[in-house]
Structure 1
Amino acid sequence: MEEILRPIGMIARSLDSISNIEFKNIDLTRGQYLYLVRIEENPGIILEKLANIIKIDKTTAARAVQKLEKQGLIKRTNDDANMKIKHLFTTEKGKKIYPLIKRENDYSNQVALNGLSVEEQRLLSEYLLKVADNINQDWEFVKSGGRRKY
């Protein structure tokens, strides 16, 4: 069996490190850009769903959201029916940063796919989505208290 998780992890850590360095000048660090992007792409998302999309625990997501809110990049609004539910939106300041983050992502994607044919890119995407789905099933199982048997 081929080892695929190490290269995937190396790619993810490298890109995260690059982003943290490049976004330092706009005071986005430690993956905060990811939260901002997901909130901009899913206006009105709630914290639990955001945490689920990013695949982290709710407490970690809450800390990141709180920092972004203090920076004036996102805002929380109350749900009309249930005051306990808070919807997340980017502010005008956050919306101005989003295109920069999107350009960086597009550039990194282009660099990552350099030298691959259109068909190879399609297959890679298809395979990675399948791998992500497999891992997501385990993540959901463990998150809800299950223990994997290995």
Structure 2
Amino acid sequence: MDYYNASVNFGIIRRRVQSLVVEATMELGLTYSEFSLMLMLYDKEGCSQDDMTAFLHVDKAAITRVIKILEKKGMLYRKRDEVDRRLKRLFLTEEGKKMEPIIKDIVKKIMDYVAGGFSEAEGEFLIKGINIMATRLGVADFEAVFGKKGRGVK
């Protein structure tokens, strides 16, 4: 297996997808981070800020900044959890809900283009493989990957 080219290509894919999203969301007034959080919230509405940090693998301060910006833009609001008052749950406003088909269409167009070189079965296999890799990397730490203690860098 050509691991070197695969790792380089992962970087290319991430950068190109991000640049396409940035350009597509410019007219919506959303950044890539705001887009990512909104996209996740469409499937995870009512999750906590801590949940969102775990889902997106981003530090809590970054998530808090994005949430505050989206609140100011009228896309979402925070509500204290009724059982655990320390938690704040995230909910979409009507304005945020109106953006769902637009945001999901951006993802669909990018994925349709990317998968255009594959048969339907190959495309499904690719998506399944990416999901497996993302899940494994989502829970991996330095020691799991390299077999020795790391410095705790996230």
Say whether 1:53 aligns with 2:55. yes
For the residues of structure 1 that align with 2:48 and 2:142, how far apart are their CA atoms?
A: 18
Say whether 1:122 aligns with 2:124. yes
Of 66, 69, 76, the residue aligned with 2:68 is 66
Query: Once superposed, which parts of structure 1, at least 4 consecutive aligned residues long, lie more than 4 Å away?
Result: 139-142
Aligned partners of 1:16 and 1:31 also within 8 Å: no
Say whether 1:147 aligns with 2:150. yes
Supply the AA of the counterpart residue of 1:18.
L
Mark the CA change 1:65 to 1:106 in structure 2 (over 3 Å): closer, same or farther.
same
- Which stretches in structure 1 are left out of the alignment for 5+ residues? none
Equivalent residues in 2 for 1:1-150 (5 A)? Answer: 1-2=1-2, 3=4, 4-139=6-141, 147=150
For the residues of structure 2 that align with 1:79 and 1:88, how far apart are their CA atoms?
A: 10
Q: What is the CA distance between 1:12 and its match in structure 2?
A: 1.5
Q: What TM-score, normalized to structure 1?
A: 0.87
Q: What TM-score, normalized to structure 2?
A: 0.85
Q: CA RMSD in A?
A: 2.0
Deviations 1:50-89 (Å, cap 9, x if unpaired)? 1111111111111111111111100001111222211101
Aligned partners of 2:142 and 2:150 also within 8 Å: no
Aligned partners of 2:45 and 2:90 also within 8 Å: yes
- How many residues align? The count is 145
Q: What is the CA distance between 1:140 and its match in structure 2?
A: 8.7
Q: What is the CA distance between 1:113 and its match in structure 2?
A: 0.3
For the residues of structure 1 that align with 2:66 and 2:143, how far apart are their CA atoms?
A: 24
Mark the CA change 1:139 to 1:54 in structure 2 (over 3 Å): closer, same or farther.
farther
- Which stretches in structure 2 are left out of the alignment for 5+ residues? none
User: What percent identity do the matched residue pairs reach?
Assistant: 23
